[in-house]
């Protein structure tokens, strides 16, 4: 791997640093050759803070094949650290929503069965996503199955688990999206990696609250707000109960500042 292609180390996590177009190219090249599903996790500043506090969650993130920078804070932090010689820049934020739509378009062209796991009451999921991925006639071939999975992912029952396993074995999805929220969705992927491998799954991706936006339960930020890195604020306006979670941003900024100070001291020494 060329130095310029290596992930950017950020708070001890290896974050994918190239544009989304390059990630898609890599996935297209790798998905047909891998013997196990490629796991894509989507850390944001809140999750990197959690990884600092929880060794278990840090281990889960380390199991991913790709950690994409879903939060704009990761991009800004990498640029700050690069100014003091601490690695390369992250080229751009890779939105989990945008990557999900790209992968669905790919699945439609390839006629892959797709499993959407998690979330609540997406009865119109298929029609909504076919509209979002419309690309000629390919969207008509999109094979979608939505499964709630568990009433409470932190206390799943044996019956729920049996239904999920049976559904995966029957569908044999090539593409799986998991929406349980961190750290449960990452734990689920790790725990079920062998099941997905035996079912010939090519890519499994955690998507957090992406389903709510894709299925129209929440509105997505206008393009101008996304370009300014304010998509998180737009969602906060719609879900003010998330305000407490945003306190993690302050903690994240403090951790990044400590990294910059360590970098400066090492240069002086």
Q: Where are the domains of the chain?
A: 3-268
DSSP one-letter code for 69: -
Three-state SS string over 114-130 comes to EEEEECCCCCCHHHHHH
Pairwise pLDDT comparison (37 vs 260), residue with the higher score: 37
The answer to whether 263 and 84 have CB atoms below 8 angstroms apart is: yes
Distance of CA 257 to the CA centre of its chain: 25
Would you place residue 264 in the very low, low, confident or very high pLDDT band (cuts 50, 70, 90)?
Answer: low
User: Each residue of 168-203: pLDDT tens digit?
Assistant: 999 999 999 999 999 999 999 999 999 999 999 999
The answer to whether 203 and 38 have CB atoms below 8 angstroms apart is: yes
- pLDDT confidence of residue 73: 93
Secondary structure (DSSP) of 89-154? PP-----HHHHHHHHHHHHHHHT-EEEEEESS--TTHHHHHHHHT--TTGGGG-EEEEE---S-GG
131 pLDDT above the threshold of 50: no
The answer to whether 92 and 19 have CB atoms below 8 angstroms apart is: yes
User: Each residue of 32-81: pLDDT tens digit?
Assistant: 888 899 999 999 999 999 999 999 999 999 999 999 999 999 999 999 99
Would you place residue 100 in the very low, low, confident or very high pLDDT band (cuts 50, 70, 90)?
Answer: very high
139 pLDDT above the threshold of 60: no
Whole-number mean pLDDT of the chain? Answer: 86
Task: Give percent of the chain with pLDDT exceeding 70.
Answer: 88
Would you place residue 212 in the very low, low, confident or very high pLDDT band (cuts 50, 70, 90)?
Answer: confident
Give the residue-averaged pLDDT of 230-237.
Answer: 85
- pLDDT confidence of residue 151: 92
Would you place residue 5 in the very low, low, confident or very high pLDDT band (cuts 50, 70, 90)?
Answer: low
Distance of CA 5 to the CA centre of its chain: 20
136 pLDDT above the threshold of 50: no
What pTM did the predictor assign? 0.89
Distance of CA 219 to the CA centre of its chain: 19
């Amino acid at each position: 791997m060329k130095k310029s292609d290596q992930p950017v180390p950020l708070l001890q996590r290896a974050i994918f640093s190239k544009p989304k177009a390059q990630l898609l190219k890599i996935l297209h090249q790798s998905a047909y050759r891998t013997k196990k599903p490629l796991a894509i996790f989507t850390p944001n500043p809140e999750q990197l803070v959690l990884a600092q506090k929880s060794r278990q969650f840090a281990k889960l993130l380390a199991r991913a094949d790709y950690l994409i920078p879903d939060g704009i804070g990761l991009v800004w932090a990498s640029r700050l650290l690069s100014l003091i010689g601490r690695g390369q820049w992250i080229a751009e934020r890779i939105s989990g929503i945008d990557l999900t739509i790209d992968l669905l378009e790919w699945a439609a062209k390839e006629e892959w069965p797709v499993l959407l796991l998690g979330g609540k009451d997406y009865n119109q999921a298929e029609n909504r996503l076919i509209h979002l991925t419309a690309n000629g006639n390919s969207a008509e071939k999109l094979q979608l199955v939505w499964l709630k999975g568990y009433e409470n992912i932190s206390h799943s029952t044996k019956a729920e688990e049996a239904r999920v396993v049976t559904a995966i074995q029957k569908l044999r999805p090539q593409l799986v999206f998991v929406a349980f929220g961190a750290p449960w969705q990452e734990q689920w992927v790790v725990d079920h990696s062998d099941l997905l491998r035996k079912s010939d799954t090519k890519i499994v991706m955690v998507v957090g609250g992406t389903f709510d936006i894709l299925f129209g339960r929440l509105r997505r930020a206008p393009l101008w707000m996304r370009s300014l890195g304010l998509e998180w604020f737009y969602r906060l306006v719609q879900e003010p109960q998330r305000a407490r979670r945003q306190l993690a941003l302050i903690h994240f900024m403090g951790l990044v500042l400590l990294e910059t100070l360590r970098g400066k001291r090492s240069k002086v020494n």
